[in-house]
Chains A and B, each alone.
Chain A
Amino acid sequence: MHEDRFPGHKFLPYLLIAPSIAVIFIFLIGPFGQSIYESFFVSTPFGTRTIYVGLRNYIRLFSSPDYLNSVAVTFKFAAFVIIIGLSISLAIAQLLNQKIRGVGFYQVALIWTYAISPTIAGVIWASMFAPATGLIPYIISILSGGYKMNWMTNGQLALLIVSAAATWKMLGYNIIFFLAGLQNVPGEFLEAAQIDGASPWKAFWRITFPMLSPTTSFLLFVNMLYAFFQVFGLIDIMTHGGPGNATELLVYKLYRDGFIYLNTGFASAQSFVIFFVISAVAIIQLRIVTRKAIYFR
């Protein structure tokens, strides 16, 4: 096969992919190997002293209620961001995919959230919900006749608010992709369905939704990575993982253990576990979703 494609250049293909391989090795595989190695040690911050502890980091990890709590919190958070986030995005994209006046304005107005930095988004949400000075607790207090909403001492509420902020932040991205997906659904199909007397609701679920499946599966994947890895900024600004450990997502816990508490061995063990979990979920998702996706054309 190779000889056919590059006659007379046996090593050319390897040479061509060498830069990518080098980058992957230097920046991904190398550090990954190192963190697996370090997960069997405890060490001082600058590595001046290391002690081999075997599986102790892992044993502590899985016997730590804080870590198990963090796993549960992460899955709740991810479920919210993925399920609620994608549903709302799809609904909004469907509304935007109509010929109405000023649709360009609405599109921009709904998409721009993605352009905000996590820090700014975090500050906006945190000040909106600030217990003593925020607008939302104020409105709720008036409407409910004095209920004092304080997410700084209410873990469930804090998790809900952080999840909502993360979902809001991702809406723009999801809407763009759903909109592009919707615009690729051939109009003839919907027209044919209409002539056959299908209700818009039925047409959506029987035609549009299945035809969107490549987009949906892509977004599922991206949103999962987002929920697991990219919400650090939001958490750091809004809650620092609190109150208690109510919003301590896995990546945030890893960051605290590794970079604030300088406990690199323990953090390395965590990163390996996260890698394992994410790979498993990703493989399952890719298997199921891509097999079921319908590719038109």
Chain B
Amino acid sequence: MPFNSSTAMLYYNKDLFKAAGLDPNKPPTTWKEMEEYGEKILASGVVDYVYSTGWPDWIFEQALAIHDHLYADNDNGRSGLATKVVFNDDFGQMIIDTWTRLHNKGIYIFGGAEYSANSAFKAGQIAMLIQSTSSLAGILKASEFKVGTSFYPRFEGYPVGNSVIGGGSIWVTKGQSEEELRGVWEFLKYTGQKDIAIQWHKGTGYFPVSGAALKTLLDEGWFSADQAFLTAFLQILSGRRDTAASTGVRLGPFVAMREIFVSSLEKSLAGQLSPKDALNEAEEKMNLLLKDYLELYGK
């Protein structure tokens, strides 16, 4: 059952934008603007670095999905087990080139896995953060500046897809006793309650799990009181939901594949490998994993 669903969006520090002479109501919408804004913010000297991200692997997947680009073959592994990854083309190359360039310019600071980049944003050490929408409440609470949220930046001129859902869902394993299943069912009903869903959304930024909860939030004026919470909904609703590329991947060895991507990105940022070699390395290792998976689970 879905429970904590999120997606990735752009957070920015409006006070720092103002201090750097930028319009606090005009966050960057493209990667080109990320670079231009980044240069301006760096030149103004208000911060040492401009932006960071959480979950680098997931942020990369977002960049593909939001432009309706597949990650792996067989419709991202949805119409059959995937046999190879397909992101290592001009487009994928452009993503990693861009990030590496921004890193070398000092605009992007690599923030490590998961949520470790959040502290730099909350402390006002960086002006922008690309992170899960689930961090919103925490960031608003801890930040002593005006926080703006906006859509995940795009590459201009490429197709429209959608940002993919992250977070988690609740799974029930087979073979439990009747009594335990009854307990599980009570728990699932509890998490699905309207009040609980609203509380969960307000306390984190995750999407509320039911339509009833969403309507109540809308009716009570939650989204007009703080527009920052609306961004995630609009981003998802304004994208496509009818293509495999825009709805996420289904890959057996995905956990390992993600870590391979992160370590390749790290090598590219550190200058240990060229962006091209880094992506080639990731592709080669991931394809081997997919092949092994196919051998074990295929047929």
Contact = CB atoms under 8 A, between A and B. Distances in A.
A132 B49 CA distance: 8
19 contacts: A43-B296, A51-B296, A131-B110, A132-B48, A132-B123, A132-B125, A133-B119, A148-B49, A150-B110, A152-B111, A153-B103, A153-B269, A242-B262, A243-B266, A243-B267, A244-B267, A244-B272, A261-B253, A261-B255
Nearest to B122: A133
A203 B125 CA distance: 54
B132 interface: no
B270 A256 contact: no
Contacts of B187: none
B256 A148 contact: no
B297 A44 contact: yes
A148 B106 CA distance: 9
A244 B111 CA distance: 14
Contacts, number: 76
Contacts of B226: none
A81 interface: no
A131 B295 CA distance: 42
Interface string A146-164: 0010101111000000000
A48 B266 CA distance: 36
B9 to A, nearest CB: 20
A153 B296 contact: no
A244 B125 contact: no
B113 interface: yes
Nearest to B297: A44
A260 interface: yes
Contacts of B259: 240, 256, 260
Contacts of B52: 132
A121 interface: no
Interface of A: 42-44, 49, 51, 130-133, 141, 148, 150, 152-155, 240-245, 256, 260-261, 263
A243 B48 contact: no
Interface residues of B, number: 31
A154 B48 CA distance: 18
A44 B296 contact: yes
Given A133-B123, A148-B106, A153-B103, A240 B113 contact: yes
Contacts of A141: 48
A42 B296 contact: yes
Contacts of A245: 263
B89 to A, nearest CB: 23
Nearest to A64: B285
A260 B292 CA distance: 16
A242 B256 contact: no
A43 B297 CA distance: 10
Contacts of A43: 296
Given A132-B109, A133-B123, A261-B253, A155 B270 contact: yes
Nearest to A238: B112
B120 interface: yes
Contacts of A241: 263
A150 B263 contact: no
Contacts of B262: 242
Contacts of A240: 113, 259
A133 B125 contact: yes
A152 B112 contact: yes
Contacts of B111: 132, 152
B123 A243 contact: no
Interface string B34-74: 00000000000000110010000000000000000000000
B130 interface: no
B126 interface: yes
Given A261-B253, A261-B256, A51 B270 contact: no
Which are the 5 A-B pairs with shortest beta-carbon distances? A132-B120, A243-B266, A261-B256, A132-B125, A244-B267
